[in-house]
Structure 1
Amino acid sequence: MIEDPVFKVTEAGISAPSYAEIYEYYKQRMREIFGDDINLDADTQDGQMVAMYALALSDVNSQAIAVYNAYNPSTAKGIALDTAVKVNGIQRRSASHSQADLKLIGQAGTHIISGVALDEQENKWLLPEDVVIPPSGEIVVTAIAEDEGNIKAAPGAINRIGTPTLGWQTVTNALAAEEGVPVQTDAELRIQQTKSTALPSVSLWEGIVASLLTTDGVRRVSGVKNDGDLPTDEGIPGHSIAMIVDGGDVAEIAKTIFLKKGEGVGTYGSTTYTYLDTYGFPNKISFSRPTNVDIFCEIKISPARNFLSTAEEEIKARIVTYINSLEIGESVNISRVLANAVKTDNGVVDTRFVVNDISLGESSTQLTTASVDIEWNEAAICELQNVTVTVEDVS
């Protein structure tokens, strides 16, 4: 029998006896008080009273464990997890809207107040509240889709001015819109918290990467730093950094880079944003979005006796999921694509078919059995329609 029915907190953590152990503890104490002949069966008044006391203490113990675990990001849930991760300077990502980087061209000094751009599907894209066209006559800003969810816009699809403004001439998006996402789950928030622990790192480079990864909306980060005097093979000027950021708001990304980079370090990229520091001084911060490389795949299989037609869609989904999980600059290895195509969610080999051949390429008409090389500033992407599964006749 246990000696104490109350929860305990030790160097090993928190622990508490089970309800059955607490129930037996109270019954033994009752026998010590009233004698061994007391009837504590479940259908007696004394037995029910003991059970009530045991259940109440068991519930208190359970709540104590829940409160204790609420302070650990690995075990906290819901609002408790939201509170626990604040110590890392992060918060749960809310359901988001799609966003797109828009290039606005117009007369210098033009103020665009609460501007709206339209895409080919009549979706509205909301500009920042007040945009001022700089002396160069053009500026890149991040516009947010008016509606929540997966609003898509291909490159060049956002091309109409929804709120005519004197001096504002054209609008376009060079890259596809970043699609909205649902509210961040507990599991995703724990992963973000783990990444954020690199924020106080000794290396400024690691700190920049970690800070960008925890910036709202950012999915992937890569880049090149040049500590030397001469440009690198990638064309990065001396004493500069070139960050490649997938997702996130242009202004927030520029702010993060400015605050985390070292003094005297230049920035390089195709997107430039002027960040005003605490004292109002303008600082031009440049970075790049990854250039998306469409990946096409054809896989030929022979069916086994237990083959079902649904297996074709499962194969496609596995390939797409793997390719889209690759980091910026990571090449598409054909052997790994094959390994993921035949691997089930449980991590075992799918025995419903045998792979006869697999090929990859950047177009459906130029497929080979070689891996696809991805440059440092590119990101491989794949959609279901890019994958072809051919079931060959086994006869």
Structure 2
Amino acid sequence: MSLYTTTLLILDPDPYNSIDRLYRRVIQQAMHVTLPTGCLDIFVARPPTRFRETHFVVAQLYKISAELKQLENKEDIDVRVLLEGVGGFDIGDARNRSWEVVAVGKSDSKLLPVFIAEQHSSWFSPALQIIILPMERSIETSSRLPSLPSDEDGSHPPTEEGPHLGEAGLVIDSTDEEGGDLDDEGEEAQYPIVALGGTFDHLHDGHKILLTMAGFLTGESLIIGVTGEALLQNKKYKEYLEPFPQRCAAVLNFLAYIYPALHATTDEINDVYGQSVTIEAIDALVISGETRQGAKLVNQERTRRGFHALKVWEIGVVNGDANDQWAGKLSSTDLRKREFEKGELAKGQGTQQKLE
């Protein structure tokens, strides 16, 4: 069996169908043909237009991929979820990429004619090998509904047809009691200028989901505050933190790949505010659940300065929950710990060899 450095997997998931049941096997097979140090791009054709559904699809695909990478002992495969038509990314962009093979589940093979036509329209695009993968039968649902059913308390109950969207960890509530403007799902709209912040050390799936959904909301410019030295003093395994320029480059390279038309910039932040309180034109702020208090402080400071409050969109922490202090979440600390342990193991082996 041939192994490829770069694999494109095209799929057409529906948030009202079980993504795990339908696509776990397909993603696993795509990993089988990808080198352990290669790249697997998952191209979502016809992604949902609403924030909640898109967040769920993106988070589920990264979650399933992370589980399979561990199962297949291919944890170094770089998985990227691409959304058709968002941020300037289209299936026709295949001719500008370096994919070596395109894989598609049998039920999604109807997507291939457009892809092949786009490929043939380019003089510079070599013919790609195409692999049709077996997949589970789809559970028929009524349609791609415009919104998800809700209980009276605002939760989203699981159904026989599809998964519980609460699994993605997304919390979208009404205006918060302290004057912050935590957005509800509302009418989907892109904001001209969106901001978010983070350390972005050892860019992992949680970061990718955060950046993907921030870009989903952005019409023109995305401002990313990257944590500077002043806020990193108490980080565990601090000596294994990536340098600031490296973290910025990882963020910008990822965004340039998934959203080629998006204008993204990075800026060093050494407090909770960053440029979110100095640039009045910013429209929205994207946060993770663990930084909700920081969003409140930002809007309080903007109000004090006479700026409008920001719309706040919250991205669920992957594999974690506020009730257990975010235990089990995707963590840069864990990645730094692994580097520390590898270093200690190497030192131990070196000492042993000297003794022998």
Q: Aligning the two structures, in what range does the TM-score lie when normalised by the shorter sequence?
A: under 0.3
What is the TM-score of this pair, normalised by structure 1? 0.21
Structure with greater strand share of residues:
1
Structure with greater helix share of residues:
2
Between the two structures, name the one with larger relative contact order (CA 8 Å, sep ≥ 6): 2
